[in-house]
Chains A and B, each alone.
Chain A
């Protein structure tokens, strides 16, 4: 009895339009009960749209049922609309209006006034005379020192070795507890142009400090999603000694330009590419993705690529004006989450 009562209640609440599913025979049977119950039901069910919402039903099972029924109905309606639109487009053929572009966070990015205009002379002068000018004028060629934080574990050591195969003219040294402030003058005297320190936490590498040496800026990144060579599926053979090409994607703002130039100065500046290897630094939503591939042009427009080499993701934490000096250094840009990350559509790189 109770069950029949339940079913009739639910029928009443759904209203006439809803097609009842398995409960039909039962509801038909208790239709004559409707007379007694209809008096109680109209205030709840009769008006379209109903005057109550499904969330007001206290009984969880009944509420769930109502909800699933409502969801199925919504899905059907959505499918119907889509089909109709598709038919209309086919009917119009060429005259159909263009498809609307879906909104993404990258599309909706807040206008950033620091985005560099390619014709801007002041910025061009700034870049032509900054610390990387000598590299871009081909006066110095890079020589990199790669090291880690103290007592590195296996993963970090292997990442360093793989990085040194990716970056030409780089040397890996074991950090025997030496202070960076003492290493830096020694590096400068031995003509190193850049210093990379991979920071490790709990046996995984999680930070990268990139310092341009004579007096140049130091960038501190958070590193995540590190995949060593053996963890990459369908990869090609190990990279050769050829100097790779570089691709820097999407470094549009002034800060992005500085960081992009830092990455570019790691690799020798030679437009005559030999070897088909390419290192990509792709910036999207303030995350920089590093990938290393080998490409081969199968025809004019078709390219095949194989991923070699390690892959990791970086996020800039701070850019310091001089060489590494965490206490007394002056920062050009510091990431402050509570002040800078308030909008989901604002990015800094």
Chain B
């Protein structure tokens, strides 16, 4: 029974062997999805992002420079788009208004028209941001703005028109306020002796959770730059981190082949742990709130008539679309444009 409605999987994880796994945390089960039926290392997933229109589609960036479209409703890959140019794997993937933005490691950022067919071989827009890019992220409030940064690569914010801001380097967390006239970081905090590989904002409270190559997860307060607490359990380098927008949950995946979900507050600890047999590269956490209706769902799909399931799925997609408007707090990893700082913008100069 491959129940592949959008409600079934809580977390989607991409692996080094090219398998997209949908994980149901209530049942601790994972379902594997591959484009070609067989796992292939050339298709190693390097970037994941939600497609347009609710959480029904996932854009999967693979190591062979293709972006594949995966439908969570149907549970299969629908099409792919070849996005050549530049060298290295995808470091960032975003979609805006029917266009797809891709960024590769050698620094080429391209905007493509989003269509399932490979009919548009040429990108709409192309930028070069410099080599050694580690991350590209989309500003959740301004979908046209992306930030890119990496090793020895200056953190730059692009409005698809380009404007520059200074340096990013591993091991530190630096907060920049793009609205302030100064170029210095607003806050700089260091954690541990190992490079930080993943970062995510916690919803609500002003803190950020970082993970390093040793598998240490730490929550750092953004107002003071001090360490609030650590999360235990990971044994390998942290590759993907994401917080749930409303619940105090954090999903983390790494090279030790285990997906862990921690509870961040009261009490801080491990909620779920699922062993997935391949090395995990990136993850997508579903932002919906109803995680507990799993037991009823399979019975509904079996007993209900087809029309009922269609209306159910319709409701589910409506619900999911409504929830998606909630802040997608997937931050730019380098330029932390926190909400608080934005509110200070009118007429204030922050240090």
Contacts and interface: CB of A to CB of B under 8 A. Distances in A.
A129 B275 contact: no
Contacts of A331: 213-215, 236-237, 255
B256 interface: yes
Interface of B: 17, 19, 32, 38-39, 41, 170, 193-195, 197, 213-215, 232-233, 235-237, 255-257, 275, 277-279
Given A114-B275, A126-B278, A328-B195, 6 more contacts: A113-B275, A126-B277, A331-B237, A332-B237, A336-B215, A339-B233
A332 B256 contact: yes
B255 A330 contact: yes
A205 to B, nearest CB: 25
A125 B214 CA distance: 26
A336 B194 CA distance: 15
Nearest to A321: B255
Contacts, number: 59
Given A126-B17, A339-B233, A340-B235, A332 B213 contact: no
Given A122-B19, A122-B32, A332-B256, A254 B277 contact: yes
Interface of A: 113-114, 120, 122-123, 125-126, 129, 254, 321, 327-334, 336, 339-340
A336 B275 CA distance: 19
A340 B194 CA distance: 20
Contacts of B194: 327
Nearest to A318: B214
Contact of B237 (A123, A125, A126, A330): A330
A336 B193 CA distance: 15
B275 A333 contact: no
A339 B269 CA distance: 13
Contacts of A340: 235
B232 to A, nearest CB: 5
11 contacts: A122-B19, A122-B278, A129-B17, A254-B257, A254-B277, A331-B236, A331-B255, A332-B237, A332-B255, A333-B236, A339-B233
Given A114-B257, A129-B17, A333-B235, A120 B277 contact: yes
Contacts of B279: 332
Nearest to B39: A125
A247 B100 CA distance: 53
Nearest to B32: A122
Nearest to B275: A113
B235 A334 contact: yes
B256 A333 contact: yes
Looking at B193, B255, B279, the one whose CB has the most chain A CB atoms below 10 A away is: B255
A336 B257 CA distance: 17
A321 B38 CA distance: 24
A114 B39 CA distance: 20
Contacts of B195: 327-328
A123 B213 CA distance: 23
